[in-house]
Amino acid sequence: MDQIFENTATAFALKTDSELERAYFLFKMISNEPLVKMGSVITNFAFKAHLPVESLIRATVFDHFCGGVNERDCLPVVDRMWQKGVCSVLDYSVEGKEEEDPFDTATEIILTILDFVKEKDAIPYAVFKPTGFGRFALYQKISEKKELTDKEKAEWQRVVNRFDKVCKKAHDLEVSLLIDGEESWMQDAADDLAEEMMRKYNKKKRIVFNTLQTYRWDRLPYLKALHERAIK
């Protein structure tokens, strides 16, 4: 692996000279903290004022860090990478919302992505963030073993239902599904829910996968305990 990345012709085979120059320029800009803060303020103002900046952002920051605005828009990048033997994962990067509507929308988009992944060898699995399906504070309260109100219990059940709906479709399509990691102080609730889905849908084939963030000191004991439970 080290030899691959030491060979810049291989490591950067997917990038043109102009794309590499743009990347160098972007990272030089991003390394300047005052400039980043000022740029964020100006960009937010430009969007709120409906100024014509979308094409500029699309041609610079967006195209470097994002594959596209939807799964079809990502196809040229996915196909280009696949020609070099590199797989892609479509990450619908919406998380941390507080209202219910975005959670239902995210669920429907992940269901659509599962259909899309089923037809593409270049995309080995779908992925979603737990906070795309429910409030961060709710996960945290459950992780801290605090008593939920009746309203929160009903809200959590909707989160569970969203997880189950997506995992069931992944199981029916036989498409691998990765549940992404979150902040440490709310991860326990996400882990418990991921394990519940794994117990339900991984009986005959590996479908649902959880994320273990190995920079955390407690993840190796958790992995060992998870392995013991899996054997049982």
**Interval 141-171: pLDDT, tens:** 999 999 999 999 999 999 999 999 999 999 9
- Least confident residue range of 55-64, 79-88, 140-149: 55-64
The alpha carbon torsion through 3, 8, 14, 15 (nearest 10 deg) reads 160
Q: What is the CA radius of gyration of the chain?
A: 20
In the sheet that holds 208-210, the strands lie side by side as 125-128, 176-179, 208-210
Q: Please provide the average confidence, as pLDDT, over all residues in the chain.
A: 91
Which residues partner with 125 through β-bridges? 176
pTM (2 decimals)?
0.83
Give the pairing type, strands 125-128 and 208-210. unpaired
**Sign of the four-CA dihedral 15, 17, 22, 27:** positive
Decide: 128 and 102 in contact? Cβ < 8 Å: no
Q: Where are the alpha helices (DSSP H) in 54-149?
A: 54-57, 63-65, 71-82, 100-118, 136-143
**Structure confidence at residue 91 (pLDDT):** 84
Per-residue confidence at 121, pLDDT binned at 50, 70, 90? very high
Widest distance between CA atoms in the chain = 59
Decide: 116 and 73 in contact? Cβ < 8 Å: no
Amino acid at 12: F
CATH 3.20.20.220 fits 68-231, yes or no: yes
User: Domain extents for the chain?
Assistant: 1-65, 68-231
Kindly list the distances between the CA atom of residue 3 and the CA atoms of 8, 16, 92, 154, in Å, as whole numbers in the listed order: 10, 21, 32, 53
